[in-house]
Structure 1
């Protein structure tokens, strides 16, 4: 029986890794995919092993394992370092007879380990990407990121501010322009009046958080969100003079890459739920204070609808270019 080995950090696992694993799987009776863990890993091991396990679950001949990188000494030249790697592989995976890789270290590792090495596309012409490139510019290399991994790299912009400043209209149009989706204010579908209980705000906060987490799985590079859980906290305090502690837990579950604080220099549009039109400056100050209190960076965006669209589009482009 041929037992093969593919190993790496998979930070993140991408289509190049999957092509390598598929190439190896077809040449082995059993294949071990070993994920290396180091103290300075920038993506958590638990998340990476979850990605690998989910992606490789359909293949009964593949075993996914995680191993601490205690066998590597970064102060050594490659020739000496691969002696340590070889000793670890022979000790940890004694039944492996062949390993597969696209890396330059394969030649000295094969020499020290005595294992057969099969190279897969060393120049990376078939899948021209690396995990480093994806971490540095995920938007540019989006098509190489598996669907199960892409939510990690979705950039999220929160359109934030008091009532009647254009959040919903802007979110919808931005999602269209950037060929992605947006998260609406779910409270609009959950309430029929401004009579609330604490449980109502908990339900709203939970639903808003779940809507963002669900939308991350479908978004194309960027996700526009009409409101957030900080907003839910503000209105809980305004209507009930109390904020359910659970809303602060929910706030920590979603990280926004940019906050857009929308100014009140647009006409007030009344509806059945909006009731703070007479307090617009006070409400804007409250929304701004919550960002300042958390030291969250934000952009204050003013002007007409078209001017707001232009400003937010420039912010979005910069975010995608540097992401």
Structure 2
């Protein structure tokens, strides 16, 4: 995988966190505010609901990672990932009890990025693909320990509505200061 030119003033931000924690909304807002581009979560359109097999998730993961690679190759000035390998890793771990080797290899060699971990302080909203309403605290903790295990720097985003967006902007701006 090609790494972006470190001398180039470009940023890649990955939004990760439990379901119903505002990842997609935040990704779109950040891309708009920074006049950047965002890569949507592929699984959103690929699965009709919560009935699926491991092979379905593996196909989704491969497609998401391929799209991420293409996205990074384009070297956007400001790019936002609505999901990345960390989200996929946790999905595999929680649903199937293990993580495929291809996914771990991808995460180990991925393009450098800043992580924003969305806190679970938003009201849970039903959705045909959501399946962990009662596990949001445990999922948040799993995201934190997973990011720490990979030794990825991350910031936790809290707040509701515009406050959440402002908090994310403040965190990102502080990292650049």
Please classify the TM superposition score into its range, dividing by the shorter chain length. Answer: 0.7 to 0.9
Pick the aligned partner of 1:184 from 34, 37, 40. Answer: 40
Shift of 1:242: 2.4
Shift of 1:243: 1.8
Q: Give the secondary structure class of the aligned counterpart of 2:80.
A: strand
Q: Give the secondary structure class of the aligned counterpart of 1:261.
A: strand
Per-residue CA deviation, residues 22-73 of structure 1 (Å, 9 max, x unaligned), is: xxxxxxxxxxxxxxxxxxxxxxxxx7xxxxxxxxxxxxxxxxxxxxxxxxxx
Alignment of structure 1 residues 163-312 onto 2, 5 Å: 163-218=19-74, 220-312=76-168
Alignment of structure 1 residues 16-165 onto 2, 5 Å: 135=7, 138-139=8-9, 154-165=10-21
Per-residue CA deviation, residues 130-181 of structure 1 (Å, 9 max, x unaligned), is: x9xx82xx32xxxxxxxxxxxxxx3211111000111101111111111111
Partners of 1:176 and 1:303 in 2: how far apart? 19
The runs of 5 or more residues in structure 2 that have no matched partner are none
> How many aligned residue pairs are there?
174
Partners of 2:102 and 2:72 in 1: how far apart? 22
- Whether the aligned pair in 2 keeps the contact of 1:258 and 1:297 (CA below 8 Å) is yes
From the superposition, tell whether residues 303 and 173 of structure 1 become closer, same or farther in structure 2 (CA, over 3 Å). same
- Of structures 1 and 2, the one scoring higher in RCO (CA 8 A, sep 6+) is 2
Shift of 1:219: 5.4
- Whether the aligned pair in 1 keeps the contact of 2:35 and 2:78 (CA below 8 Å) is no
Partners of 1:263 and 1:275 in 2: how far apart? 17
The runs of 5 or more residues in structure 1 that have no matched partner are 1-46, 48-130, 140-153
Shift of 1:189: 1.5
Partners of 1:243 and 1:258 in 2: how far apart? 22
Per-residue CA deviation, residues 53-109 of structure 1 (Å, 9 max, x unaligned), is: xxxxxxxxxxxxxxxxxxxxxxxxxxxxxxxxxxxxxxxxxxxxxxxxxxxxxxxxx
Per-residue CA deviation, residues 207-229 of structure 1 (Å, 9 max, x unaligned), is: 11122222234454111111111
Cα RMSD of the aligned pairs, angstroms, is 2.1
User: Structure 1 length normalisation: TM-score?
Assistant: 0.50
